[in-house]
Amino acid sequence: MSSVKENINKYDPVKEVEKYYNDIIDNLRLNLQVAEERIRRLQDSEFKLESEIEILKEELSHMKNDKKIINKSNHILSYIQETN
């Protein structure tokens, strides 16, 4: 009978509730860290894509200026350099 009383005395509902909410808070902190890392990776990817877009725009501009006629097998048939 004394061991039952000891177990009842060891159970503290306030501590159980605190532990429950502390576990939730820890889980939310972990989720926040994961989300922040994902955001950083997405921002890095966005920067790389924007850089690639700028490079492609420059290449397209050069191609427009260089008037190349290319057939289906990627052979240049004629090349005319425009002078402005």
pLDDT for the residue 81: 56
In this predicted model, what pLDDT tens digit does every residue of 64-75 receive, in sequence order? 776 656 666 766
* Rounded Cα distance, 4 and 58, in Å: 80
* pLDDT at res. 11: 83
Beta strands in 1-84 (DSSP E): 68-70, 76-79
Please tell me the number of Cα atoms within 13 Å of 35 on its side-chain side.
6
Please write the tens of the pLDDT for every residue from 18-74: 999 999 999 999 999 999 999 999 999 999 999 999 999 998 888 777 665 666 676
Query: Quick one: pLDDT band at residue 79, thresholds 50, 70, 90?
Result: low
Q: pLDDT value at position 61?
A: 84
Question: How confident is the model at residue 72, as a pLDDT?
Answer: 64
